[in-house]
Amino acid sequence: MKSSTSQSGFTLIELLLYVGIASIMLLVTSLFLSTLLQSRIKNQTIAEVEQQGLQVMQIVTQTARNAAEINTPAQGVSAASLSLNTYTPGNNPTVFDLASGAIRIKEGTGAVVALTNSRVTASVLIFQNLSRASTPGTIRIQFTLTHVNPDGRNEYSFAKTFTSSATLRQP
């Protein structure tokens, strides 16, 4: 007489194999998601610096193009601030400078307004007067923006130097 013993279920080796495969898949998925999150944060950091840098540059160059004259820096000189006279007497002088890591503008007797926010730090703000005699006036603008990174994490680390120039338009 033959007895048939049928066993159902998993052996210990099969169970260990399934758990091992599931663990590897979970580890790969979590590493992928972590890398994806770091990439997203890095892209946001770059976008923040780029956006603020382009916005500041646009404001400075547009104001310079619409100015009547450059007060400081003098011809052929570089300075950390730019003073312009505009065609609107109430805005004279319009001054751009750097203080406490922020690029600022002050128009006439108005309040000082920061052009950058607390998520970036501005440094190395240089205005160079490239004007020549009997020309409307040309100013070169250069500054560096660095994303604020208090924890020193790589995905929040980004800096960029912006450079442009503007020539005053004649009325």
Pair 113, 104: CB distance under 8 Å: yes
- Position 7 in a domain: no
- Position 159 in a domain: yes
Range of the domain at 60: 12-167
Cis peptide before 93 (omega within 30 of 0): yes
- Which of 14 and 113 is assigned the larger pLDDT? 113
- Position 60 in a domain: yes
pLDDT of 6 reads 63
- Position 89 in a domain: yes
pLDDT digits (tens, 9 = 90+) for 96-127: 999 999 999 999 999 999 999 999 999 999 99
Q: How many domains does the chain have?
A: 1
- Position 36 in a domain: yes
- Position 6 in a domain: no
The structure's pTM equals 0.79
- Position 4 in a domain: no
pLDDT digits (tens, 9 = 90+) for 25-59: 999 999 999 889 888 988 999 999 999 999 999 99
**CA distance linking residue 30 with residue 32, whole number of Å:** 5
- Position 1 in a domain: no
Q: How do strand 82-86 and strand 78-79 relate by DSSP bridges?
A: unpaired
Mapped onto helix, strand or coil, the DSSP state of residue 68 is strand
